[in-house]
Amino acid sequence: QQQVKQSPQSLIVQKGGISIINCAYENTAFDYFPWYQQFPGKGPALLIAIRPDVSEKKEGRFTISFNKSAKQFSLHIMDSQPGDSATYFCAAGDTGNQFYFGTGTSLTVIP
Protein backbone atom coordinates (compact mmCIF):
# COMPACT_ATOMS: atom_id res chain seq x y z
CA GLN A 1 0.00 0.00 0.00
CA GLN A 2 1.45 3.31 -1.13
CA GLN A 3 1.72 5.60 1.89
CA VAL A 4 2.23 8.70 -0.24
CA LYS A 5 0.38 9.11 -3.54
CA GLN A 6 2.04 11.34 -6.13
CA SER A 7 0.70 12.78 -9.36
CA PRO A 8 1.14 13.24 -12.21
CA GLN A 9 3.47 10.45 -13.30
CA SER A 10 4.92 12.68 -16.00
CA LEU A 11 4.74 16.37 -16.82
CA ILE A 12 5.78 18.46 -19.79
CA VAL A 13 6.09 22.20 -19.32
CA GLN A 14 7.27 25.02 -21.54
CA LYS A 15 10.31 27.01 -20.49
CA GLY A 16 9.20 29.81 -18.19
CA GLY A 17 6.04 28.02 -17.14
CA ILE A 18 4.98 26.72 -13.74
CA SER A 19 5.43 23.03 -12.90
CA ILE A 20 3.09 21.64 -10.26
CA ILE A 21 3.43 18.22 -8.64
CA ASN A 22 0.95 16.97 -6.08
CA CYS A 23 1.16 14.49 -3.22
CA ALA A 24 -1.39 13.15 -0.76
CA TYR A 25 -1.13 11.05 2.39
CA GLU A 26 -3.41 9.46 4.96
CA ASN A 27 -1.21 8.87 7.99
CA THR A 28 -1.64 11.79 10.39
CA ALA A 29 1.53 10.72 12.21
CA PHE A 30 3.62 12.13 9.37
CA ASP A 31 5.30 15.31 10.52
CA TYR A 32 7.94 16.10 7.92
CA PHE A 33 7.56 16.40 4.17
CA PRO A 34 10.68 16.67 1.98
CA TRP A 35 10.98 16.82 -1.80
CA TYR A 36 13.82 15.30 -3.76
CA GLN A 37 15.18 15.87 -7.26
CA GLN A 38 16.84 13.06 -9.17
CA PHE A 39 18.77 13.25 -12.43
CA PRO A 40 19.37 10.12 -14.55
CA GLY A 41 22.14 7.94 -13.17
CA LYS A 42 22.34 9.89 -9.93
CA GLY A 43 20.92 9.55 -6.46
CA PRO A 44 18.11 11.79 -5.24
CA ALA A 45 19.06 15.16 -3.80
CA LEU A 46 17.12 16.90 -1.04
CA LEU A 47 15.47 19.94 -2.58
CA ILE A 48 13.16 21.52 0.00
CA ALA A 49 11.14 20.35 3.00
CA ILE A 50 8.23 21.52 5.12
CA ARG A 51 6.65 20.78 8.48
CA PRO A 52 2.84 20.64 8.90
CA ASP A 53 2.70 23.78 11.06
CA VAL A 54 3.63 25.87 7.99
CA SER A 55 1.34 26.32 4.99
CA GLU A 56 4.00 27.41 2.52
CA LYS A 57 7.76 27.41 2.17
CA LYS A 58 9.70 29.05 -0.61
CA GLU A 59 13.32 28.59 -1.65
CA GLY A 60 14.24 30.40 -4.83
CA ARG A 61 12.01 29.15 -7.64
CA PHE A 62 10.77 26.19 -5.58
CA THR A 63 7.72 26.45 -3.32
CA ILE A 64 5.98 23.83 -1.20
CA SER A 65 2.31 24.39 -0.43
CA PHE A 66 0.88 22.36 2.44
CA ASN A 67 -2.79 21.73 3.25
CA LYS A 68 -2.95 19.92 6.57
CA SER A 69 -6.73 19.46 6.64
CA ALA A 70 -6.76 17.92 3.16
CA LYS A 71 -3.55 15.95 3.85
CA GLN A 72 -2.07 17.20 0.62
CA PHE A 73 1.10 19.01 -0.33
CA SER A 74 2.52 20.18 -3.61
CA LEU A 75 5.71 21.41 -5.23
CA HIS A 76 5.60 24.44 -7.49
CA ILE A 77 8.54 25.24 -9.75
CA MET A 78 8.27 28.78 -10.99
CA ASP A 79 9.90 29.93 -14.24
CA SER A 80 10.72 26.32 -15.12
CA GLN A 81 14.02 25.83 -16.97
CA PRO A 82 15.33 22.96 -19.13
CA GLY A 83 17.85 22.27 -16.36
CA ASP A 84 14.93 21.44 -14.05
CA SER A 85 14.15 18.39 -16.19
CA ALA A 86 14.45 15.52 -13.73
CA THR A 87 12.38 13.14 -11.66
CA TYR A 88 10.87 14.61 -8.51
CA PHE A 89 9.86 12.61 -5.45
CA CYS A 90 7.79 13.72 -2.51
CA ALA A 91 8.20 11.95 0.80
CA ALA A 92 6.65 11.87 4.25
CA GLY A 93 8.26 10.91 7.51
CA ASP A 94 7.11 10.05 10.99
CA THR A 95 8.90 10.23 14.31
CA GLY A 96 10.11 6.66 13.84
CA ASN A 97 12.80 7.68 11.33
CA GLN A 98 10.97 6.06 8.41
CA PHE A 99 10.37 8.10 5.29
CA TYR A 100 7.91 6.97 2.66
CA PHE A 101 8.42 8.13 -0.91
CA GLY A 102 5.94 8.84 -3.66
CA THR A 103 6.31 7.07 -6.98
CA GLY A 104 7.95 10.03 -8.71
CA THR A 105 7.11 12.57 -11.40
CA SER A 106 9.21 12.83 -14.53
CA LEU A 107 9.41 16.52 -15.47
CA THR A 108 10.44 17.65 -18.94
CA VAL A 109 10.88 21.35 -19.58
CA ILE A 110 10.78 22.19 -23.27
CA PRO A 111 12.98 25.08 -24.43
| Residues in touch with another protein (CB under 8 A) | 2, 4, 6, 32, 34, 41-46, 49, 89, 91, 93, 97-104
Min dist. Cβ of residue 54 to another protein (A): 15
Closest by CA to 75, choosing from 3, 7, 15, 2, is 7
* Closer residue to another protein, CB minimum distance, 17 or 38: 38
CB of 15 vs another protein, minimal distance in Å? 27
The upper half-sphere exposure of residue 33, i.e. CA atoms within 13 Å in the direction of its Cβ, equals: 34
Closer residue to another protein in complex, CB, 17/99: 99
Contact 77, 86 (CB under 8 A): no
* Angstrom distances, CA of residue 83 to CA of 51, 79, 107: 27, 11, 10
- Name the residue nearer to another protein (CB basis): 104 or 109: 104
Q: Shortest gap between Cβ of 37 and another protein (angstroms)?
A: 11
Whether the Cβ atoms of residue 17 and residue 76 lie closer than 8 Å to each other: no
- Closest distance of CB 66 from another protein, Å: 15
